[in-house]
Chains A and B, each alone.
Chain A
């Protein structure tokens, strides 16, 4: 399905034959796709299609039942994400994520949230706390620098006026932006956003699009996002992967996906006279796909 133009692109994340089974439920069934460096890749699909499960496998929160997830950094170093634990995925492989239900440190201030995100860098600078406790200047420099970094992202996310307020006190849209800013403060090469536009009003959605575009432009971070809001998906993504029942049903640029009959069938249902045809197509996928997995 991948056209010749995508073959020339440089994949940053490669998901190969990924399967995830919860007891009797096959949440993801032999999923393979690639996300390309510098692209915004969208992962869409109806409710329960397994999108968040894919995210949790990529970011190390779930151990996949089968399959391989390869992250290739700019410097050429490769990481097999399915073998790493969740915090190593962020620390070493430089993959950051946000959550569908916002997970901020609500009792810490906005600024502190962004400082916590720079933990590993600061830990090193403070000589694993020992030098920092003794008041070494190297740590003071690093701490000042980390505040500058936080300020940069606060300005980008338009949160600089609320920097000293508790994160739990922010309105919903601002919390979403803060979570993205916090993920960016870990210095990722690959950013995974789980429904960043959920619960946002149209104006906030537009602001989010701007933020994501500027993240890609200024830092070169590649983005993978799960989204239901098609105005966001079609507007900003370069590449869309569609899941249904844990399987990929379409993969390509937004226009290609928009006109794919299988995607339309999955989302909207189909005319009565086309039902047979669509069922046939789906059965073909369902029968052939598990056949590929035994290895």
Chain B
């Protein structure tokens, strides 16, 4: 071969020629494949006669997709991937950039300034959607997923009924505030305690179970709570739910009730708007999330947190080291449930209305999916996964422009779950251990090296 001393230009033109050739063949194959399937369609006309509909335009689109796709893949995508692989192999481990190193700090800072920015951009009324539908909604799921992370990610106990504790928290606030008129700040810790209690009540019977059996029983527990809420109509009003739940106040100083004399807007002489309450709720759930993260990080460095992780790795070894696995599992259930309870009472105060419909199995599945997608045990990964999953499905509601492509009958909301599922499959193929697959050690002698996901176990109990 004469082209051993190939210049980059000639290599480039070679590549282009090859890409064009392969694109042509791909187009040909597509044409052969689709000409009868797509190009011609048999149909009935109004007289019930069989007619042949010709769809050459659609066929051309199919062929063009195949040809152009092949061309792009050969000419650009593959060389790019090969180059990236080569550069990765040569440079070795890259020093993490500024953003990667301080990701959590930056995220918290962004969240703190998020509501004012939204107000500045869209005005008080326009910011409602962004603060409430996106901000608060995502943060609730972040908190729930962080709570479940203690049970599933750290202790390795597969819990499919987590939404039960969310329900317990929501209903304890809804019922105790409407029957006894207690305030949110009294009921928030109480909701957590009730949920933790229920966590223990669930924990006791399932302690002997492992893996699939544990998952099934927790699932049943979630359904039991929901069915009790539906059928105990005397207290919970059944499927009608409880409405008119009292709003939270700023530690009892300022209220958000329109009629109250210490109304927030009145005190500060601001125009009336429901946006203040939403912004207050945003900061409230942000604070609850930060408390959850702080407690989780601290707990991981406590003996109990290490015992949870050890339990995930090997339960028998734990027992041989004198660790009481019964109490260890119970504390994991109770702690996880407590955060679920906090999130539940927040949910009730935000909605002003709770009904059993909010606590179906799908919720448990979504929370679990967030934990698994984020990477079990990793707080940052889970927060990212929650943002993508919940924010992503909310964004799909906003995709009005899709109607221009797929016609006015197209309703993107109907495809939300389909896309959600597809995205999950893609992420799991791309990163089987979730976004953050490695785990940070809780103690170190010389340097903190993160543990690759291939060593950690998912837990089997």
Contact = CB atoms under 8 A, between A and B. Distances in A.
Contacts of B443: 109, 111-112, 115, 147
Interface string A61-101: 10000000000000000000000001110110000111100
Given A103-B316, A107-B455, A119-B303, A164 B321 contact: no
A249 B313 CA distance: 39
A148 to B, nearest CB: 11
A187 to B, nearest CB: 9
Given A86-B320, A105-B313, A166 B451 contact: yes
Contacts of A147: 443, 445
A166 B452 contact: yes
Interface stretch (B101-109, B197-205, B263-271, B322-330): B322-330
Contacts of B88: none
Contact of B320 (A99, A107, A168): A99
A122 interface: yes
Interface residues of A, number: 45
Interface string B294-306: 0100110011101
Contacts of B313: 104-108
Contact of A104 (B295, B307, B317, B452): B317
27 contacts: A61-B319, A86-B319, A86-B320, A87-B322, A87-B325, A90-B322, A91-B322, A97-B320, A103-B320, A104-B313, A105-B309, A106-B314, A106-B455, A108-B441, A109-B449, A116-B306, A116-B310, A117-B321, A119-B322, A126-B304, A132-B302, A132-B303, A133-B298, A151-B445, A163-B444, A164-B446, A183-B320
B409 interface: no
A283 interface: no
A88 B306 CA distance: 19
A169 interface: yes
Contacts of A167: 455
B231 interface: no
A254 B323 CA distance: 36
Given A107-B313, A118-B303, A129-B302, 17 more contacts: A86-B319, A90-B321, A91-B322, A96-B321, A103-B314, A103-B320, A105-B309, A108-B306, A108-B309, A109-B451, A115-B306, A122-B303, A129-B303, A132-B303, A164-B445, A166-B452, A183-B320
A182 interface: yes
A116 B307 contact: yes
A214 interface: no
Nearest to B377: A107
Interface in A265-288: none
B442 interface: yes
Nearest to B441: A109
Contacts of B441: 108-109, 111-112, 164
A59 interface: yes
B404 interface: no
Interface in A130-180: 132-133, 147, 151, 160, 163-169
Contacts of B448: 164
A87 B457 contact: no
A126 B451 contact: no
Contacts of A91: 322, 324
A164 B450 CA distance: 9
Contacts of B446: 163-164
B157 to A, nearest CB: 16
Nearest to B316: A103
A219 interface: no
A171 to B, nearest CB: 14
Contact of A105 (B298, B317, B445): B317
A111 B317 contact: no
B447 interface: yes
Nearest to B458: A107
A211 interface: no
Nearest to B305: A129
A135 to B, nearest CB: 8
Contacts of A164: 441, 444-449
B249 interface: no
B189 to A, nearest CB: 15
A151 B444 CA distance: 11
Nearest to A106: B455
B460 interface: no
Contacts of B316: 61, 99, 103
Contacts of B321: 87, 90, 96, 116-117, 119, 182-183, 186
A174 B420 CA distance: 45
B177 interface: no
A61 B319 CA distance: 9
A236 interface: no
Nearest to A93: B322
Interface string B430-454: 0000000001011111111101100
Given A107-B313, A108-B310, A163 B457 contact: no
Contact of B455 (A61, A86, A133, A166): A166
A120 B451 contact: no
A107 B306 contact: no
A123 to B, nearest CB: 5
A169 B314 contact: no
B411 interface: no
B445 A126 contact: no
Interface string B89-117: 00000000000000000000000000000
A256 B305 CA distance: 50
A165 B441 CA distance: 9
